[in-house]
Chain A
Amino acid sequence: MTLSQILALLAPELVLVMAGLVVLGLDLVWREEKKKEWLPYVALAGLVGALAAMVALWGQEAVLFGGIFTADVFALLFKVIAVVSTGLVVLSAIEFMRGRTPYRGEFYSLLIFATLGICFIASSTDLIMIYLTIELLSITSYILTGYSREDPKSNEAAIKYFLYGAVASAAMLYGMSLLYGATGSTNLSQIAIALGQADASLQGIILPAVIFLLAGFGFKIGAVPFHQWAPDAYEGAPTPVTAFLSVGPKAAGFIVLVRVFFVALPSFQPERIILISVISAITMTLGNLVAIWQKNIKRMLAYSSIAQAGYILLGMAVTSNLGMTSMVFYLMTYLFANLGAFIIIIIFSNGGGGDSVEDYAGLSQRSPGLALAMLLFLLSLAGIPPLAGFIGKFYLFTAIMEDGLLWLMVVAVLNSVISLYYYLEVVRQMYILPPKVEEPVPAASRALSGALIMAMIGVLLLGLYPTPLIELIEAAARAFLSG
């Protein structure tokens, strides 16, 4: 393969590297505050460029650099999720960060580097590469979480996120070293070959290795019992960063989980089904039950996103193509609904509102449009037709039904009912209770409104006309699973 072919396959990542460096450089060169206003738009241009490169690469498959980097459509799906979510986060951060930090250039460039981390994770097929890229994402996320240096809550969120994250990644690394020791290779497909030939005595080391690995990946997706960081980090981090953390790193955790289990450990399938279905059931139950008691809306959404990770894990508890398809599709519906809810929170707090659920009382009388949008996103998260979340849940539940995991499906349906309670509590505050303040929430900036409209279009479009996207994902999943 020639150098130009390799560079073409790496185009999305290269564009992101350039964009991150350009933002950093311009921040240094542009002295006046007025010019720095353009930095987020430069970052946005980079993200759009990366998205365009991904679309141009669609359908191409190749393995680069001796098997550490795999460019396939399945990875591209996750890269698209990462870039789209970061784009929405950048749009929603412009106004929010303006008054809160003097160092805005680094903020956007760190966001881009974190996205770069996710893009590389999606393509990693070697344990060393997976470790490096996960750390690229983690370290940038720690800094972003603590970005409001003057805010003690942000500091606290960052230190908690960091300590949990560092322990989880040390455990993950220990698991990787055991896997390397058991198979003599760090390449995922070679690990699978070595394990296929291995005698029974080696099987004893695989289970502990997998559990250690799960600690690292479970931390990224926020699965119980590796979820404790999520509520604190979500509550304390600047809200755009919370929005970023709730989507991008989760998507990264899922793709790496899929690659490790399906490429490196296909022989581990019976144990995988038990392990993942139990983790999934516990994750959604705990997330939903604890979310009921939350008073802070960011914290409530943190527990809600833990529960959502439980639903998404359902797709990995089955063996079929449908499971993988519904998992990726659900991740996309979750992206728009969850980011949309966070965008509303950002608009609300830009207008001087607080973060507690009770602050949203009477929002429908103050700003009916905002309340309606929030209603849409919350109902989609709860899985009410005809919104995107319903289609996503429908596919996931069908997938586990087809595999005969009836108990898991009952748990999942019960959980959906529980989750209605706390989503509707916000709706009750907005629509039934009288407002404490009469004035409407100040109008959002153009960038924020744009992000909000995009999220609403996503939630409605994926709910009303999901077929093309599902077919696209299905083709990618089939190609991934067959080889």
Chain B
Amino acid sequence: MALSLYWYLIVAAALFCIGLYGVLSRRNAIGILMGIELMLNAVNINLVAFWRYLTPSVLTGQVFAIFAFTVAAAEAAVGLALVIAIYRSRDTVIVEDVDLMKW
């Protein structure tokens, strides 16, 4: 029995919400980064599912997904570099402790 499109969309939406919850609740910058990755992967599930069910003859969705995770990797590289930079200067990756500037 083939699954319908909705199941994939529900999984993606759930994954997106889990990622967003991680972003909002984590105090560790690496944890937040992991939450962001979950959000991006939810998008990829969406894209590939839409491609498979709606326009299987046109590769747009697949191409979009490939671009999305490639760019996500580049973004994560820059993000981790910034986390290392802040760890060197402040000895912490807890975002609440990074508070030189407020309001």
Contacts and interface: CB of A to CB of B under 8 A. Distances in A.
B82 interface: yes
Contacts of A166: 33, 36, 75, 79
A302 B98 CA distance: 20
Given A170-B19, A170-B39, A181-B54, A162 B101 contact: no
Contacts of B42: 174
Contact of B85 (A127, A146, A170, A231): A146
A178 B46 contact: yes
Interface residues of A, number: 44
A162 B85 CA distance: 13
A232 B102 CA distance: 7
A284 interface: no
Nearest to A177: B46
Contact of A128 (B23, B46, B63, B82): B63
Contacts of A290: 103
Interface in A81-119: none
Contact of A159 (B58, B61, B64, B86): B86
Contacts of A155: 82, 85-86, 89-90
- Tell me the interface secondary structure of chain A in the complex: helix
A127 B64 contact: yes
Interface string B69-103: 00100110011001101100110000100111101
Contacts of B29: 159, 163
Contact of B55 (A138, A184, A231): A184
B33 to A, nearest CB: 8
A358 interface: no
Chain B interface size band reads: 35 or more
A139 B74 contact: yes
A139 B78 contact: yes
A153 B64 contact: no
Contacts of B63: 128
- Tell me the interface secondary structure of chain B in the complex: helix
Interface in B44-64: 46-47, 50, 54-55, 58, 60-61, 63-64
Contacts of B86: 152, 155-156, 158-159
Contacts of A186: 60, 64
B69 to A, nearest CB: 11
A170 B43 contact: yes
Contacts of B75: 135, 138-139, 166, 169
Nearest to A136: B71
A153 B95 CA distance: 13
B68 interface: yes
A158 B82 contact: yes
A151 to B, nearest CB: 8
Contacts of A181: 9, 46, 50, 54
Contacts of B54: 181, 184
B100 A153 contact: yes
Interface string B12-53: 000010011001000001001100100110110011001000
A167 interface: yes
B59 to A, nearest CB: 11
A185 B60 contact: yes
Contact of B82 (A142, A150, A167, A235): A142
30 contacts: A131-B64, A131-B67, A131-B68, A131-B71, A132-B67, A139-B74, A143-B78, A146-B82, A152-B89, A153-B101, A155-B89, A156-B86, A159-B82, A159-B83, A159-B85, A163-B29, A166-B75, A166-B79, A167-B23, A167-B39, A169-B75, A173-B43, A174-B42, A174-B43, A177-B50, A180-B60, A181-B9, A184-B50, A185-B60, A290-B103
Interface of B: 9, 16, 19-20, 23, 29, 32-33, 36, 39-40, 42-43, 46-47, 50, 54-55, 58, 60-61, 63-64, 67-68, 71, 74-75, 78-79, 82-83, 85-86, 89-90, 95, 98-101, 103
Given A146-B85, A177-B43, A177-B50, 7 more contacts: A146-B82, A158-B85, A159-B82, A160-B98, A163-B32, A180-B50, A180-B60
